[in-house]
Structure 1
C-alpha cells in the first residue's frame, strides 16, 4: 500500500531534475526553497503511478509514453488559481474609459470593426467574463465582431470556466447590478448569462507552446495578470516576447499591479493613463502611439 502523504523524501538531485522538467514544459520555476512544496504537491502522483520514489517519477516524466499527459495533469496541483470578478478595478476603468475609446477610434479610421482580447492565464474564467460584461455594459462596440479568448494551462479550472457557475467568493468586489443583469441564480450559485458566454471562448494553452500561440492570431489587448510572477527572468522574457508578436501595432498589454517589464523587455512603451499604467506596443517604424 502506497501512502497518500508526502512521507517519501525528495532528494536534492531529484528535486533539481523534476524541477527542470517542469520548467522546460511550461516555465513554472521552483527555487531551492520550494523543494518541500514540490514534494508535498507531487506525493499523490507517486501513489497514483505506484512509484517507489521521486527518482522513478523523474524517469516517468522523461520517458514514459504517458509523460505528456502527466505533465498536463500536474499543472492542476502546481498552479495557483485564486481570482474573482472585477479584479483590479482601476485597471479595468483604464480599459473601459481610456484604452477602448482609443482603440475604437483608431480602428474605425481604418474601417475595422473587430476587437480581439486575450485573457492569458484566465484561471476559472472570472477575468474573460468580466471583460465581456464590461463591453456589454458600455454598449460601445455594438455591431462589432468581438472575440474574447480565455486560456490557461490548468484543465481543472478550465472546466469551471466552461461551466461558468460561481459561488459568492467570486463576487467579493462585484456590484449587485452586474449580478442582476449578467447572472442567473442556480441552486445557491450564479451562472453566467448566455449573452456574456457568447463573447468568450475558453481554451487550454501552455504559454511555452509557441506553435499553439501562433495559431491564436493577432490581438488588440492582452490581459496577463499575476501570471509571470511565477516565471524566472528567462521564462518571463520568452513569454513577453510572444505577447509582443501576438499584439497588433498599437495594442495593449495589461499586467498585474505587482508585475512590470523592468529588465524584461524594452519593446513596449509604458503609458501613464489617468486610471492606471499599462504597456503598449508602438506603431511599426514610428516608436510612437496611435493618435487618440
Structure 2
C-alpha cells in the first residue's frame, strides 16, 4: 500500500497548530482565584482522617469522649487573604445605574432610604459566605482541601454520649435530641415520663431520646459580659443561675446521676448558658 506524503504533512501541520494553540491558551489564561461550582479541587489523595462525616467513630476519639470539630484543609492554590467581594449597585438596588460596586461591609453604611429599593434575593447573596458551597461540602465529605475556609469552625468535644441511643449497633425510627439546660433536671424527668407513655401507645416504633447539655457555669449567676456589654438574664432561667452560682460541682453530681440512671445525656465541653445556644445547636447537628 502506497502512503501519500502530502497526507502525512497535513497531519503534521494540524498537530503542530494544535500544540501552539494550547500554548497560547495557557499563556493567556487569566490568573484569578474565583472558581465556579463545576471546577474540581486540587487532585491530591484524600486524607481519610480529615473529612466529614468521619470514616469511623475511632477517628473522633478524644480521651474518653469524641472530638467532632470539623476538620478542613485549605487548597494550597487558594489565597489565605480574604479579599471582600464587590457587587454592582445596579444589581442590588432598583433605579441605580453606573458601574459602582459595593461590598457586604459597605452595605451597612448605605442610607436607610436605599433599602426600599433593594432587589431580593440578590441583596442577600452579598453575605460573606458567598462561596461555591455545594462544591465545598462535597470536598469536605471526600476529605479533599477546599478553596474557602469556614468563617466559624467551633471546636466541639463530646464528653459523654448515650450508649443505648448512640451506639454503633442501634437502629431507631426516630431520634429526638432535646435542648436542655443543665439545671433542668425536673423538666427532663417530666419529658422522660411523657415519652414512656408515648412509646406505650406506639410500641412498634423505636424512638430514641437524648438530652443535649453543656458544662455548668462556675461563677457569674445571671450576669453576662458580652463583648463589654453587661447583660442580665431575667426570669426563671436567671433565678436558677443565681441559685446555683458557685455550685458547679453539685450540678455535675446531679448530671452524673442522670447519666448513670438513664444513659440519655449528650454532654458537650462548652459552658451551658442561654448565650451558648449556637454551640449546642452545632453540636446537635454534627
> When you count helix as a share of all residues, which structure comes out higher?
1
TM-score (norm 2): 0.23
Q: Which of the two has higher C-alpha Rg?
A: 2
TM-score (norm 1): 0.23
